[in-house]
Every structure is written in structure tokens, then in C-alpha cells.
Structure 1
């Protein structure tokens, strides 16, 4: 088992402004541990985490990839989260480029079709629409109607950003209608699978994986 990344540099005060790793984060880590062989065979040259928060997941993926030549990018709209990710990368001896932006704004067309590994723990909690899109910690969880507003905004970018061999992983809950998301992506030319599920209180969490349908 790979150890959880060292987050000892982040203090209680930091988590007032940055999403603290929780059940969804740890499910993501477990899913990536399940995918170790796939990820090593994939040999990504560019990876991207959208909404990196504390940087915990990217640091874990970095441990899996080891001394590879993979360029690791992260985005987050929250400036404090961007700084937290940078600190976590440094604490875990990783080189990461963190971009303070909304989703993937500014990455296209430069990275179009270039990303081999992409992953996103989106804001999936059902909330009023007006709570979506803040620049503070609420941006990490406020998902609007069906918890889908940010997810649905992001889905079209998957096809544009992923390379031919690329894989995309995303956390969702039952209320986000994962089967509907998978159907949308099937119509965009992607096969999907459920890598892991977990009950966390009343939430049923899923890790979905998408790859381009073989020709």
C-alpha cells in the first residue's frame, strides 16, 4: 500500500479556506491504487488535475508514477487552494505546475489532445445554483441542481483535452445520475467503467473512468 501524501504543512486554519481531504479524496486514492498497473503502462507524459484543492490526489498520483517524465498540471479557482497544492507538491518532493483558473480556462488550445491522464473531484453536492462558482472553499463542493452544474460544464472539455490513449477519472455521487453521465460520454465516443464505489454516510460515491472507444 502506498502511503497517504504528507500534508503536515497544512494546518487547521488552512482548511477554513481549502477543501480538507475527506471520504471522496480517500476513495480517489484507493481507486488510483487499484489502477497502478494501468497507470504505469499508460506512461502519461502530461497529467492534469482539475480543482486540486489540498494537492493530496496529485501528490499520490505522483508517487505512483515515480521518476517519470510526466508533466503534472493542476488547476484551482481558489488562490488559497493553488498555494496549498504548491506546498503539498514541495512537501512531497514533486514538481507540479499549478494554474489559478476556472476548470481548464486558458489551457486550450495549447493542451488540446495532449493530456494522457486527467482527474477531477468536482463540486457534486446538490445546492442552489447561486452557490456555484465562488472563489473560496464553497467552490469545492457546491454543485447546483442535481450537483451537476459544474460537471455538465466540464464534460465537453474531456473530448478536447484527452489524448488518443488518455484516461479521465471523476468522483460522482448517486444524486449526480452517474448512468446518465456515462450515456452522455458514450455518445461522445467514450467507454466508461466504475473503478470503485463506497458508502459515506448517506452518500454513495463512485469513481468513474473514461477512455476513448476503440475504433
Structure 2
């Protein structure tokens, strides 16, 4: 295990700027999630995770940052946008991280897999329901009612996909009504903790972690 005490932002010099017309470009929410994982680094190192999954990896910047610090962890990413999967693997390779990207909706095709860490920066923008469900860049931001339609689908999958001693990191904004998310996860038997929060251009972003 590496002795690093911080998560570095991965290099993405290999990406053509035009590619971000099709894949979500890392922004303040991406970097807040990296900061949250860095803040929780000693906790994560004590867990010594074997398998880590990022759902909706986009450019791959978050899962790659994780893999740079945990080179012995098998990292997997999913994204419904196949161009995002391609960018995730290229970001990982460029930063010498081993990553297995899978083109799928959330975690639908994982059957018996259990992950020690699951990370999700969901499409959280409040939109009409019919704007959800795309397979292009709209899938990275259109969240439907409360900006939570995609998130709520994953919440009910977490108990079957997270290892018994695992941790789930979730980024939300205040419009998503985080207290409702905390209550849903409590009903699934999970404790919750606020890792980090930040106000960016009047958008109140926060990262929660859930564990048994």
C-alpha cells in the first residue's frame, strides 16, 4: 500500500477538449468528491479495500485518483455512456492505474459482486422526469424529480452490492433533500456521516458516506 497521504488530481492532458462535448468534464463536484476521499483517506487505508467501484465515472478522474493511492485495489467503473467508459480507461492508463470500465446502467449487470467502496457522483440537477434515462452526456446531469430519480434507484441496490464492512460515498446538493436520502439508507440499515460540504456558485454541495 502506498504511503501517500493525499489524493492527487489525475492528469488529463491526453484528452481532446472536444471530447468533453460528449462526456462530463470534471468540475467542482468532481473535485469535491476527490477532496472527500482525501479527507477520509486514513479511514479508507484502515479498511484496506480490495474492490472499489465508481458508478457513473464520466471522465474517470475520481476513480483514477482513488486508484493512484490504492494501487492494490481492483478498480471498476460503470457508465451508461460508452464514450465515458472509453475516456475513463484512457484517463486511468495515462495515470498508470489499472481500471476495468463497464458500459452499463448503474450496477444492473453485476450479480454476485460485492464492493468494499462504492463512489457515486450522480446526475443531481432537478429536471422533468422525461429528461432522465439518456445514454449521452445528458445522463451525467439530468436527475429528474428532486434531482434524485437516478440516485434513488441506486440507493435500493446498495445493500446487495456493498460488502458488509463496505462504505458508500455519495455526492448530493441541497435541492436533492439529503435528509430524505439519509432516512432511506437508515431504513436499509446504514449509518451516515457528512464528510465534506462546500458552496459553489450558490450550489450547496456535500458528500455523505454510508456504512453499517
The answer to whether TM tops 0.5 is yes
Contact in 1 for aligned 2:7/2:34 (Cα 8 Å): no
Residue 158 of structure 1 corresponds to which residue in structure 2?
158
- Per-residue CA distance 1:99-132 (angstroms, 9 max, x = gap): 0000001102x21xx2100000000000111110
For 1:1-215, what aligned pairs fall within 5 Å after superposition? 1-65=6-70, 67-68=71-72, 70-108=73-111, 110-111=112-113, 114-212=114-212
- Per-residue CA distance 1:32-72 (angstroms, 9 max, x = gap): 1101101111111111000000000001101221x32x211
- Per-residue CA distance 1:66-116 (angstroms, 9 max, x = gap): x32x211100000110000010010010111110000001102x21xx210
Coordinate RMSD, CA, aligned: 0.9
Distance 1:2 1:166, change over 3 A: closer
Which segments of structure 1 move beyond 3 Å, counting only runs of 4 or more? Answer: none
| Aligned counterparts of 1:137 and 1:157: Cα–Cα separation in 2 | 23
Q: How many Å apart are 1:2 and its aligned residue?
A: 3.7
Unaligned 5+ segments in structure 2 are 1-5
| Aligned counterparts of 1:31 and 1:177: Cα–Cα separation in 2 | 19
Contact in 2 for aligned 1:36/1:64 (Cα 8 Å): no
Unaligned 5+ segments in structure 1 are none
| 2:68 counterpart SS class | helix
